[in-house]
Amino acid sequence: MRMLVTGGAGFIGANFVHQTLREHPEFSVVVLDALTYAGNEASLAPVRDDIEFVHGSVADAELVDRLVGRSDVVVHFAAESHNDNSLRDPSPFLQTNIVGTFTLLEAVRKHGVRYHHISTDEVYGDLELDDPAKFTPETPYNPSSPYSSTKAGSDLLVRAWVRSFGIHATISNCSNNYGPYQHVEKFIPRQVTNVLSGLRPKLYGAGENVRDWIHVDDHNSAVHAILDRGRSGETYLIGAEGEKNNREVLGLILELTGQPADAFDSVTDRVGHDLRYAIDATKLRTELGWTPRYTDFRDGLAATIDWYRANEAWWRPLKDGVEATYAAQGQ
C-alpha cells in the first residue's frame, strides 16, 4: 500500500510516519511537506532512509496530482496549525487549509484514491467551564478563530466531496496533542523550554481554560484504526478523557522540573480565547475498538519533558525567534 502523508515534517505528521513504519510495514510512505517555519526535516531523521520526501505545497495542483496519482491512500495533516499566528496574519491559513485541502480533494476525486482528513475539535467552538457536555459528531460547527474556521471550512469541503462526488473519505477531529517534536510555539513545549532556558513560563490570563490532552501516539493509533476499519463518509472524534486547565498543566510542568509553584508570569490573554474543549470518543471506542495507551498524563508529560531535555539541538534554533514574537505582543 502506497501512502501519501502531507505535513509529515510537522509535529503530529512526523510522529505518524514514525509509528507507521514501526507498526504498519504494509505501507510505503511518501511525505509531502512545504517545510514552513513549523516543518523540520530533522523530525524525520530517524526514518529518512525508509521514506520518500517531497518538498512542496499541498496547494500546488500539478505536484499534488502527480503524487496522489501514484498513491493508494492519502493522510492529510498539512496545515497552518497555530491559533496565535492566525490572529496575527490569517492569509496563509486560507491558502493552506482551504485551498490546499481543495487541491487534494480534486486529485483524490480524479484518481479514486482513499483520503483521510485530519482535523481538530476546535471546529465545534468552545464549551462553558461548568457545562458537563462534550463534543460529539453531532455538535454543530461554531469555530472561533481564523485557524479553526479554516479547519471547519476544510472539513465541510470533504463532506461535500463525499456527497457530491462519492469520494472514499473519512474525517477525524482530535483534541490537544502533546509529545515529542511539537513546535516550541505551542503551550507545553513553550513552557518546558522556557524552564530549560532559565525563562519564566507564560500563562495566558488566569489559566482557567480547559484543554482535553491526548498523547500524539494515541491520536495516531486512532488514525490507523480509522484507516483500517472506519466507514467511508464518517466523522470520528478522537480524545482520551484528558481534560485539564492550563494552570494545572503548568503546575505539573513546574513540579516535574523542580521549580517553585509560583515561578511563572501571567501575560496578556489570547483574543477570543476558547474556554473549554472536551471530546466524547464513544463512537471511536465502540465502533472501531480503539483505546488509548497513555492514560496517565503525568507519566506522558514527564516523558515529553525528558525528550525536550535530551533534544535541545532540535528546538534551540527555534526558541529565540518564537519568544521575540510573543514578547512583541505582551505574551
Return the closest-CA partner of residue 71 out of 122, 116, 40.
Answer: 116
Return the number of the residue (56 or 259) whose C-beta is nearest ligand NAD: 56
Packing angle of the helix pair 101-111, 61-69 (nearest 10 deg): 40
Q: How many residues bind ligand NAD (CB under 6 A)?
A: 31
Catalytic residue among 147, 181, 277, 308: 147
Return the number of the residue (13 or 153) whose C-beta is nearest ligand NAD: 13
DSSP 263-327: --EEEPPPTT---B--B--HHHHHHH----S---HHHHHHHHHHHHHHTHHHHHHHHHHHHHHHH
As measured in angstroms, the least distance from the Cβ of 110 to ligand DAU is 29
Coil, strand or helix at 10 = coil
Under the criterion CB under 6 A, does residue 40 sit at the interface with ligand DAU? Answer: no
Return the closest-CA partner of residue 79 out of 97, 91, 53.
Answer: 97
Stretch that binds ligand NAD, among 31-39, 130-138, 250-258, 304-312 (CB under 6 A): 31-39
Q: Which does 187 bind (CB under 5 to 8 A by kind): ligand NAD, ligand DAU, none?
A: ligand DAU
Return the number of the residue (65 or 280) whose C-beta is nearest ligand DAU: 280
Spatial distance between the Cα atoms of 153 and 165, rounded to a whole number of angstroms: 18
Under the criterion CB under 6 A, does residue 98 sit at the interface with ligand NAD? Answer: no
* Burial grade of 132 (CB within 10 A; 0-12, 13-18, 19 or more): exposed
Under the criterion CB under 6 A, does residue 270 sit at the interface with ligand DAU? Answer: yes
Q: Which amino acid is at 105?
A: L
Give φ, ψ of 132 to 5 degrees: -75, -5
Q: Assess whether 122 carries a catalytic annotation.
A: yes
Stretch that binds ligand DAU, among 56-64, 87-95, 106-114, 201-209 (CB under 6 A): 201-209
CA atoms within 13 A on the CB side of 85: 16
Under the criterion CB under 6 A, does residue 36 sit at the interface with ligand NAD? Answer: yes
Q: Which residues of 189-198 are buried (b: 16+ CB within 10 A; e: fewer)?
A: bbbbbbbbee
Q: Which amino acid is at 44?
A: L
Return the number of the residue (78 or 113) whose C-beta is nearest ligand DAU: 78
Return the number of the residue (36 or 291) whose C-beta is nearest ligand NAD: 36
Interaction residues for ligand NAD, span 118-177 (CB under 6 A): 118, 120, 151, 174, 176-177
As measured in angstroms, the least distance from the Cβ of 13 to ligand NAD is 5
Under the criterion CB under 6 A, does residue 20 sit at the interface with ligand NAD? Answer: no
Under the criterion CB under 6 A, does residue 215 sit at the interface with ligand NAD? Answer: no
Spatial distance between the Cα atoms of 136 and 31, rounded to a whole number of angstroms: 31
Catalytic residue among 33, 80, 115, 122: 122
Q: Assess whether 121 carries a catalytic annotation.
A: yes
Q: How many CB atoms are located within 10 Å of the residue 128 CB?
A: 9
Rule CB under 6 A: which residues touch ligand NAD?
Answer: 6-7, 9-13, 32-36, 38-39, 57-59, 77-81, 96, 100, 118, 120, 151, 174, 176-177, 183
Residues marked as catalytic:
121-122, 147
